[in-house]
């Protein structure tokens, strides 16, 4: 079943210097529970498409349809951990904001905190709860950032080149680790990357976008062996 559909999305950016067409005509469907990669060259409009899916950018034309109300989680290129907060309180950031905004009842908030602590322990950060981000490796930081995103229990995860700030060798194993966590947590994911081998390694389906303005140029199902 499709959880989300994009129908004939077009996006033009208007600036004083002129108009940039970022997305020409993109239609695609996101299936419940899959990891879908959007792969294309830098500057082709991938982040714009992700922002449109996330409701942060309005398309110039076309529509985004959701099968049901969903909570979205977003993980950007850099981990954006706060250096002055320890790993545990970094991971709790989303639920703290939720608590203030939606006045989460105390018992629910305590359950959320326990859920985060359990995840940090399960994913190998149990000994680092009170360490600061600067004391962690790039891979551990990325895991902490993912747990911060998962902490608010999103239905759909939007990942925007989440490994691009890591060096090549670190990227390979961090991509494996992060994919394993996402699969264990049974999340529906849209993963944006310019790296086709990374897309094939992490996803169930790959949609290849053309150079700017983005169009869908191919679609591949990935058979997991």
Asked if 141 touches ligand ADP (CB under 6 A), the answer is: no
Asked if 38 touches ligand ADP (CB under 6 A), the answer is: no
8 Å CB contact between 160 and 77:
yes
Q: Which residues have C-beta within 8 Å of that of residue 160, sequence separation ≥ 6?
A: 46, 47, 50, 74, 75, 76, 77, 192
Query: C-beta of 13: minimal distance to ligand ADP in Å?
Result: 3
Nearest to 190 by CA among 201, 177, 204, 176: 204
Which CB atom, from 15 or from 83, has the smaller least distance to ligand ADP? Answer: 15
Query: C-beta of 210: minimal distance to ligand ADP in Å?
Result: 11
In the beta sheet, which residues pair with residue 108?
none
Nearest to 192 by CA among 89, 85, 53: 53
Query: C-beta of 9: minimal distance to ligand ADP in Å?
Result: 12
The interface mask with ligand ADP, positions 39-78, x = CB under 6 A, is -x-xxxxxxx------------------------------
Which CB atom, from 43 or from 85, has the smaller least distance to ligand ADP? Answer: 43
Residue 130 Cα distances to 60, 109, 125, 141, 151, angstroms = 46, 20, 10, 13, 17
Contact set for ligand ADP, span 2-21 (CB under 6 A): 13, 15, 20
Q: Per CB under 6 A, which region of 35-43, 71-79, 81-89, 150-158 contacts ligand ADP?
A: 35-43
Query: C-beta of 20: minimal distance to ligand ADP in Å?
Result: 5
Within 13 Å, how many C-alpha atoms sit on residue 190's CB side? 30
Asked if 150 touches ligand ADP (CB under 6 A), the answer is: no
Which CB atom, from 64 or from 129, has the smaller least distance to ligand ADP? Answer: 64
Q: Which residues have C-beta within 8 Å of that of residue 7, sequence separation ≥ 6?
A: 27, 62, 63, 64, 65
Q: Which residues bind ligand ADP (CB under 6 A)?
A: 13, 15, 20, 22, 40, 42-48, 212
């Amino acid at each position: 079943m499709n959880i989300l559909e994009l129908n004939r999305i077009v996006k033009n950016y208007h600036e004083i210097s002129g108009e940039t067409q970022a997305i020409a005509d993109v239609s695609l469907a996101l299936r419940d529970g899959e990891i879908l990669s959007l792969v294309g060259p830098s500057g082709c409009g991938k982040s714009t498409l992700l922002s449109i899916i996330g409701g942060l950018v309005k398309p110039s034309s076309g529509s985004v349809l959701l099968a049901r109300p969903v909570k979205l989680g977003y993980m950007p290129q850099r981990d954006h951990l706060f250096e002055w907060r320890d790993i545990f309180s970094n991971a709790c950031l989303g639920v703290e904001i939720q608590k203030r905004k939606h006045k989460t009842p105390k018992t629910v908030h305590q359950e959320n905190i326990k859920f985060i602590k359990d995840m940090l322990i399960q994913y190998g950060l149990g000994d680092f709860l009170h360490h600061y981000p600067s004391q962690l490796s790039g891979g551990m930081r990325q895991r902490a950032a993912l747990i911060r995103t998962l902490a608010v229990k999103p239905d759909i995860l939007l990942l925007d080149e989440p490994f691009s700030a890591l060096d090549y060798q670190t990227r390979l194993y961090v991509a494996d680790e992060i994919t394993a966590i996402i699969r264990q947590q049974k999340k529906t994911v849209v993963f944006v990357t310019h790296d086709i081998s990374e897309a094939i390694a992490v996803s169930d389906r790959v949609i290849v976008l053309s150079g700017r303005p983005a169009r869908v140029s191919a679609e591949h199902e990935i058979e997991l062996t």
